[in-house]
Amino acid sequence: MEKKATLTVNGKTYDIPLLIGTEGEMALDISTLRQKTGLITLDPGYANTGSCTSSITFMDGEKGILRYRGYPVEQLAEYSSFRETAYLLINGELPSAKELERFSLMLNDHSLVHEDMRSFFENFPRRAHPMGILSSMVNALRAFYPEIPERSEEEEINITFARLLSKVRTMAAVSYKISRGHKVVYPRHDLSYCANFLKMMFDSPVKPYHVHDDIVDALNVFWILHADHEQNCSTAAVRLVGSARVNLYAAISAGICALWGPLHGGANQAVVEMLQDIQDSGGDPAPFIARARDKNDPFRLMGFGHRVYKTYDPRARIMEKVCNRVLKKLKIHDPLLDIAKRLEEMAVNDPYFIDHHLYPNVDFYSGIVLRAMGIPLNMFPVMFAIGRLPGWISQWKESMEDPKWKLHRPRQIYTGLQKRDYIPVDQRG
């Protein structure tokens, strides 16, 4: 196959190299376009723009495929743990038993949060959203854990990765405990990554928390499914901010801010709020579907649609199974699950949703899983953020190691006023 395309502008023809990925995806390599032609491309929202090459995650939005480092997400959800998947994303290969043990020890070593940071948590207003708290605290980590010049760069980077993976989980639980006015629970060396989080969240001196294996399994799958998703909004934010060579804490903090939005990581919270609204209005999803179809109404069905997936999000199918399983095992009957199933059935058979290729995304069932675990609604995006950390870290690492690395600096087409002269204030009409 010819590896170039041609572009003709005002009678002049230019060769544009074609780039072909390992799964056959093709791109026009326009990196020298402006230099050769004086032209830029315009692509609001970057729907047609690749910002990098990457060997971490493959997704096919038409076929509903998602793989991390070549492994189908379905297999990882079935057989792996979040900790192992994090290692895979960051290091490129599944760990040996020894490597996994070393990684676990590192996570354990870095799980405590500096005691002086406690006063930060305690002074946020009680109603502050945990995502705002988390992004601020992650940024503050740099002040508490500055670089140690005696360490090699590799050592420093690996410690920073472990710190983030372990401390963000601890900080999330601490902020929850403090928001409730409860005693903080410290991490324990004898518990797994997920079990530790649940214990820190829910254990109390007056009501000991028994870690339930089914909840641990569900949490592992929840976090595996969120672990990476190639160049989504928050990952793009991490890469963009990181491209200015800021420290990793600042770049991850930017990712958390991007994830907070209801069109991205805030959608799991928005889905449950929407299902509650349907329940409060009598339980019939039909009027909500009608609103979503109405061009004059800004309302959208939360948990439906995706920039890349034009079919079922593969994570949504797995999440639905987890949801059914965990609710059954815990003998929970959640009326929101019935509503979600009715809503899905109606929407996927509705011509508007079919024509617009709108199907459930990962957030559609995940909120119901989190509710079953006892996670409060405003912590839902935080749960997503903990899960996405390995993805952010691995994407940041890849961008730092890229020999073609460049500061991210998009261009624009200016549509404002042309040059005009300044008028002193006393002469303005």
Residues belonging to the active site: 306, 363
Least Cβ distance, residue 54 to ligand ACO (angstroms): 18
Whole-angstrom Cα distance, residue 383 to residue 379?
6
Least Cβ distance, residue 225 to ligand ACO (angstroms): 10
Please say which residue, 203 or 350, places its beta carbon nearer to ligand ACO: 350
Residue of the chain from 130, 255, 303, 390 that contacts ligand ACO (CB under 6 A): 303
Least Cβ distance, residue 106 to ligand ACO (angstroms): 28
Q: How far is CA 335 from CA 272, 282, 330, in A?
A: 11, 12, 15
Helix (H, G, I), strand (E, B) or coil at 365: helix
Whole-angstrom Cα distance, residue 319 to residue 366?
6
| Binding span for ligand ACO by CB under 6 A among 18-26, 67-75, 91-99, 298-306 | 298-306
Residue of the chain from 39, 263, 286, 290 that contacts ligand ACO (CB under 6 A): 263
Mask for 220-249, x = binds ligand ACO (CB under 6 A):
------------------------------
> Which token pair is 389?
């950390």
By CB under 6 A, tell whether 110 contacts ligand ACO.
Answer: no
Please say which residue, 292 or 340, places its beta carbon nearer to ligand ACO: 292
Indicate the burial class of 331 (C-beta count within 10 angstroms; 0-12, 13-18, 19 or more): exposed
What's 317's DSSP letter?
A: H
> Which token pair is 309?
């997936």
Helix (H, G, I), strand (E, B) or coil at 65: strand
> Which token pair is 90?
């960051």
Q: Say which residues have a Cβ less than 8 Å from residue 224's Cβ, sequence separation at least 6.
A: 73, 76, 77, 80, 81, 82, 85, 387
| Binding span for ligand ACO by CB under 6 A among 6-14, 213-221, 301-309, 335-343 | 301-309
Site for ligand ACO in 360-389 (CB under 6 A): 361-363
CA dihedral sign of residues 124, 130, 135, 141: positive
Whole-angstrom Cα distance, residue 280 to residue 196?
35
Residue of the chain from 172, 292, 322, 386 that contacts ligand ACO (CB under 6 A): 292
Please say which residue, 187 or 303, places its beta carbon nearer to ligand ACO: 303
Residue of the chain from 201, 267, 274, 369 that contacts ligand ACO (CB under 6 A): 267
Please say which residue, 64 or 187, places its beta carbon nearer to ligand ACO: 64
Helical ranges in 67-209 per DSSP H = 73-79, 82-91, 97-109, 118-123, 130-144, 153-179, 193-202
Least Cβ distance, residue 4 to ligand ACO (angstroms): 30
Number of residues in the chain: 429
Please say which residue, 252 or 292, places its beta carbon nearer to ligand ACO: 292
Please say which residue, 167 or 239, places its beta carbon nearer to ligand ACO: 239
Least Cβ distance, residue 389 to ligand ACO (angstroms): 15
Q: How far is CA 209 from CA 173, 181, 183, 197, 374, in A?
A: 14, 17, 14, 11, 12
Site for ligand ACO in 344-363 (CB under 6 A): 356, 358, 361-363
Q: How far is CA 274 from CA 289, 375, 379, in A?
A: 11, 17, 16
Least Cβ distance, residue 245 to ligand ACO (angstroms): 27
> Which token pair is 306?
């995706």
Least Cβ distance, residue 361 to ligand ACO (angstroms): 4
Please say which residue, 187 or 266, places its beta carbon nearer to ligand ACO: 266
Cβ(30)–Cβ(41) below 8 Å: yes
**Chain contacts with ligand ACO (rule: CB under 6 A):** 263-264, 267, 292, 300-307, 356, 358, 361-363
